[in-house]
A and B are shown apart, each in its own frame.
Chain A
Amino acid sequence: MLGKLGVFEPVVHATGAAILDVYELTVGYNGTTALDRVTFHLNVGERVAVVGPNGAGKSTLFKVIAGVLEPTSGDVRVAGCSPRGHICIAYVPQRNDVDWMFPVTVEDVVMMGRFGRLGLFRRPGRQDRAVVRECLGIVGLAELAKRQISELSGGQQQRMFIARALAQESTLMLMDEPLTGLDMPAQERILALLDVLRMQGVTVMVATHDLNQAADYFDRVMLLNHRLLGIGTSAEVFTTAHLRDAYGGQLRLVETGDGLLALNDTCCGHG
């Protein structure tokens, strides 16, 4: 057991492999099926929005990809290997799931991203602190490094977690509703950061409630409601039939001269 506490040795990424292969993934909890035979592939550097109603299995999907939950059946491969072989998968939690009163500063949280590479007994060194400063600079939080985390605004909190994922040197980033509850300028700063991530070759999956944002800012969209209803361009996926399948009565659809208008995902809770 103690051998596992040394420096974790991540697997070497197979070149040419898709960054993420999900095959016939099924996850059940106490008799209900959260995910039902989901199959898809992502390429390196791709940016995908995951859309679906509350309780559609978005968080479950992310947790299985991150190697936090075990699939009931089916297979998940990250760069050709089991998720548990990697320390480069970052999961950015929903803001509601975080204890903001916890006694840590912004730089403490970002430093946690480095811990996977340190191993037992080793404390963060000068290089780790330099990486943390750099990541805070990228997300524009260098000035707030010493603040306790409850002193940040919602958008700043989200950017702090992106900085942590950068410090983790993650190649696959799973963001669980990072835009929910943020005002437009804060949302735009985060969407701009997604471009920075793309330049660094980071593959990003973002769970979101906003269909228009999903269509406008992402390479592909994925429509999920336990089953995978579609993955592709927004024109291919956001069809009347698919959206009715996903949302039932939760979504107002209006046929216009130009095509289909989705008025809103009526819910915006957190789930």
Chain B
Amino acid sequence: MAPLLEILVAPLRYPFMVRGIVAAILVGIVCALVGTYMVLRGMAFLGDALAHSILPGIAVGYIVSGGGRGPIFWWGLGTGILTALGIGALGKGAQVKEDTAIGIIFSGMFALGIALISTMRSYAVDLSHFLFGDVLGVSPSDLWLTAGLAVLVSVIVFVFYKEFLVLAFDSTLAETLRFPSGFLHYLLMVLIALTIVVALQTVGIALMVAMLTTPAATAYLLTKRMAPMMGIAALIGAVSGIVGLYLSYYVSVASGAAIVLVCTGIFLLALLFSPRRGIVRGWLQSRG
């Protein structure tokens, strides 16, 4: 067999690698679709906060099940949706600024999660899985759940495409066209929460915001319309998942970190060489 082909095929002999790659592709695509709205509406900090806020839910699921994946997932999802709706309602209170309030809630929830997990005996190992992901530990049933939720999120993004587009670009127009802006806002928050829980096992809490924002931000540099931005972001997310896992197989680095580093590398290339907004182009133009 040709050496290059052997390099590509060798990792696929392990079923856990195949499952990991499929999960990484799904997660890359879903994060990119939802992340497009987050990048356009300036919600990166909120996404990071939401990811950290689900830790106590995960911790409770972990404690009540003694480490079972299923309960951890559903507890995380419930906490994520509740926090998303809570943060969505936060903007209305006026005691402190919204980003301050988000910062307080997210760090408090995160601390609660760490405190809960630290009561368990094997906490260091498990905590690191929640924080940094464990994509090679994806079981067949995890994969089905990931796929199901990925399809659900994608369908909602597709169905509400024009409503979310208007809401992101011109919220006053959304009002004058009498779109149900409040419902759409909370729906987007719930979608972000769903996406975070789907991506939890692949990249973990700490690196989540990279999967949500970096591919979408890269695509933003490369296109002038939103639908292609989503497509390019999804492609970048999926390719980063695949390349990242091969890197982690051959170079022996943590898989979540490898995926994020590939994303970041692609972003830097786009930042330098984008034909529309790249630094090199700007530099060449300024020299005439």
Contacts and interface: CB of A to CB of B under 8 A. Distances in A.
A112 B165 contact: yes
A118 B223 CA distance: 26
Interface of B, secondary structure class, is helix
Given A1-B180, A87-B178, A104 B226 contact: yes
Nearest to B183: A1
Contacts, number: 83
Interface of B: 40, 94, 159-160, 162-163, 165-166, 168-170, 172-173, 175-180, 183, 220, 223-226, 228-229
B178 A112 contact: no
A120 B176 contact: no
Given A8-B178, A116-B178, A102 B172 contact: no
Interface in A87-110: 87, 89-91, 93, 98-99, 102-105, 108-109
Contacts of A168: 176-177
Interface residues of A, number: 33
A123 B176 CA distance: 19
A197 to B, nearest CB: 17
A91 B226 CA distance: 23
B183 A115 contact: no
Given A103-B220, A105-B225, A91 B165 contact: no
B172 A63 contact: yes
B159 A121 contact: yes
A103 B177 contact: no
Given A103-B220, A105-B224, A93 B169 contact: no
A205 to B, nearest CB: 14
Contacts of A89: 176
Contact of B172 (A93, A99, A115, A116): A93
Nearest to A90: B176
B159 A120 contact: yes
Contacts of A87: 176-178
Contacts of B173: 91, 112, 164
A4 interface: yes
A129 interface: no
A245 to B, nearest CB: 30
A127 interface: no
Contacts of A104: 165, 169, 224-226
A254 interface: no
Interface in A1-60: 1, 4-5, 8, 30
Contact of B170 (A63, A66, A93, A123): A93
A104 B165 CA distance: 9
